[in-house]
């Protein structure tokens, strides 16, 4: 991801937009191509990293790790690591992440209304 200078005009505009527009705020948390897909798969319950990778084969390891970390920082996803060998790490939705269920469900309903078909 490209780093934006803290004092740049673009960064200032983004902060102002997030503060004044609730849709921009939500998109700053779950926007992009992969975050909603990851969240959608976590709706069905706790998953290990490899389970998510298998469910979303087109995502690169770097992107999956990066987005899981960002969603952890935004308190949408909880990472639980057990201190065993080999490491056992799981991901699940936090309470805040679970509150996105109606949003993601609405996206699914809309997709099927547009004649989306599962191959």
Q: How far is CA 55 from CA 42, 47, 73, 98, in A?
A: 10, 10, 23, 19
Specify whether domain 9-113 bears CATH 1.10.10.10: yes
Give the CA dihedral 97, 98, 102, 105, nearest 10 degrees.
90
Q: Is the torsion defined by CA of 99, 111, 26, 46 positive or negative?
A: positive
Give pTM, 2 decimals: 0.80
- Contact at 8 Å (CB) between 63 and 18? no
pLDDT tens per residue, the chain (119 residues)? 556 566 677 666 666 666 678 888 888 899 999 999 999 999 999 999 999 999 999 999 999 999 999 999 999 999 999 988 888 999 999 999 999 999 999 999 999 999 888 77
Give the pLDDT score at 4.
Answer: 59
pLDDT in tens, 4-33: 566 677 666 666 666 678 888 888 899 999
Lookup: tokens for 29: 């948390």
Asked if residues 54 and 3 have their Cβ atoms less than 8 Å apart, the reply is: no
Domain ranges of the chain: 9-113
Q: Which helix (H) or strand (E) holds 22?
A: helix 22-30
> In whole angstroms, what is the distance from residue 108 CA to residue 106 CA?
5
């Amino acid at each position: 991801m490209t780093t934006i200078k803290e004092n740049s005009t673009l960064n200032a505009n983004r902060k102002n937009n997030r503060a004044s527009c609730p849709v921009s705020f939500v998109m700053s948390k779950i926007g992009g191509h992969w975050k909603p897909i990851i969240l959608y798969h976590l709706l069905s319950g706790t998953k290990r990293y490899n389970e998510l990778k298998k469910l979303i084969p087109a995502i690169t390891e770097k992107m999956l790790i990066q987005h899981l970390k960002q969603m952890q920082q935004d308190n949408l996803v909880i990472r639980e690591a057990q201190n065993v060998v080999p490491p056992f790490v799981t991901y699940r939705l936090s309470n805040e992440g679970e509150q996105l269920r109606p949003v993601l469900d609405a996206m699914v309903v809309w997709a099927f209304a547009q004649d989306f078909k599962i191959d």
